A and B are shown apart, each in its own frame.
Chain A
Amino acid sequence: MTQLLIIIGYLFLLLLLGIGASRLFRGTSQDYMLASHSIGPFLLLMSIFGTTMTAFALVGSTGESFKEGVGVYGMLASSSGIIHSLCFLLLGVKVWELGRKYEYRTQVQFFRDRLESRWIGVILFPVLVGLVIPYLLIGVMASGTVINKVTAGSIRDGRVVGGTFEEGTFPQFLEQGKKPQSEEPANFIYGSQGGVPKPLASLAICGIVLIYVFLGGMRGTTWANTFQTLVFMVLGIVTFVVIAWQLGGQESFWTSLQTASSSIPIEKLTRIHIPPEKFLTYMFVPLSVGMFPHLFQHWLTARSAESFKLPIVAHPLFIAIVWVPCVLIGAWATSDLITIPPPVAANPNAVLPFLVKQLAGPVLGGLLTAGILAAIMSSLDSQFLCLGTMFTEDVVRPLCGQRSLSDRQQLLVARLFIIGIVALTYGLSLFEPRRVFTLGVWCFSGFSSLFPLILAALYWPRLTKAGAYACVLAAAGSWLWLFRASEFAAQPNFTVNIPVPITLDGDGYWQLMPVAAMIACSTVAMVCVSVVTKPPSDATVAKFFPKNGS
């Protein structure tokens, strides 16, 4: 019960922060969506970092390291330190300049101008929303799992012991878990196990985020992100120290660290099971930040171009601070120092909350859980807000045409759409779960496949409207094709295998990440169609590619 009370206390604090931020709200849609372009370097760093580091970073990285070993850090974290900052420098600053100059609020508005195409939003909007929804799902699913695991009991002799609630406290339909390899209906022992049921926990998190996004808009979201990023970074380090000490079981922290790491099995200590070409092509996945609509919106909140300097430099360091401990914890969980029960091992998302529950006391366990939830919610809020903004700006306003909406009506539309999206995401989260990491990689791969579009729009004057349409359609088509081939993410290690005569591991194939194939498709389609179609007008080229001094 202590953990649950601490979690409730933390959520209450967040609500207070949302109410506080709403007092600074200026009542305009410009302030609600872009915080009136007033965000300085520190808040920009914290909000961008908090937004990009979601359940994927804490729960997902620990779970994936548990499954695949320490190579996970190189696959996504260190590559993100290079690629994310590259995107902030090459794309973020340029987008900010154009956004300020021409008052853009969304990606579609920018592309509509740049491509001289009123209808680009018709295909881009559903693709972007369709890709954000799995991203949202990651957070909603993980928050339910985390709260449930830290409040649940354990199974001994076919009974639940030490849970927060008794059997029958919650209605049967909230008990989702089944005995592995069994056709029996879901029940208490394999469902909530005396914890808060996952569907209820996810619903509570959605509700809290919804309320502070409603009240504070972008300003409230930025403040909440900053607060939550600080919370999850500090508590993440505390988690690491506590788990290392408890697992190692030595008097000093240093020797406990060494004991814990010396017990990691060899296959988790190395990358012998990861094909080098798969590792290489994982580097395309972080390109996704270039097309994240919520990040686009955060870039536009910057007070000046100078505000980007701190995020660009500090982002790789912050990634290391969060990911190195999580990856080590995941690898330790594979050692013989602790027994991970089969239901937890079968669901890697549950490894971190399980360790927190087992190895930290109830007070610390509650605080650490709050840290994990902070990481999750700091992404959900931006995504909710971004979707509301996109719907208002890219769908409703163009449809209304001359009958322009008042500022108050725009706010209302944005908020109503946010409610709809939250309801849809929550409904989808109730279906069979996928590994957070796998789902995340698919979602990021989709955004990465659109990266050539934003890069060309900013740096290649010859990009044409038809080339852009071809790029989006090729990206969406190849994503759908490969996602289906992976049995809708049910195959976590799905790769595109290309037969070649020579490989480093001698298996006769290059095992590439699907993202490599998607980027190749979208780039080829974009370039080929652009060079054979009518170039953009001189006025558009002059607008987006001004010569020095003009």
Chain B
Amino acid sequence: MKLIRYQAPELSQWSPFNRLASLREEMNRIMDGSLAAFTGGNVGLFGGWSPSMDVVQDKDAVYVKAELPGMKKEDIDINFQDGILTLSGERKQESEVKEGESFRSERFFGKFHRTVSLPTKVDADKISATYKDGILTVTLPKAAEVKAKQIDVTVS
């Protein structure tokens, strides 16, 4: 029987892959919206990691859910600008000294950064977020003008 031990790829600081990772981020920014196709899962390409995200909308709001298990609330940053929501932060490995031996290492630690462009205009002042059981839920209420338009449509 054997145990396969492997390291999270981001352990090496000098790596040229870091530059590749920032290139990827740049591409994500350019290709906003369809970035899901690029990252797909929750494992980032070489640099950091990439949490899974879901986006749902109903008539009142857009909801963005991100799976961020094992973080501290204060280590999550939420930014909204020009119709683009950015989630970023850092998952820190617990500070316990590694006196023991690790022989399965599948969790990712370190920084993450994800952006999503919203399908509709939202009211930036009323954005709220909760973090529970490792899931971040951001609620972005739709802008009044969008809602008014929706009502018009239903009437006609």
Does chain A bind chain B? no
Interface, chain B (partner A; CB < 8 A): none
Question: Which residue numbers of A lie inside 8 Å of B, CB to CB?
Answer: none
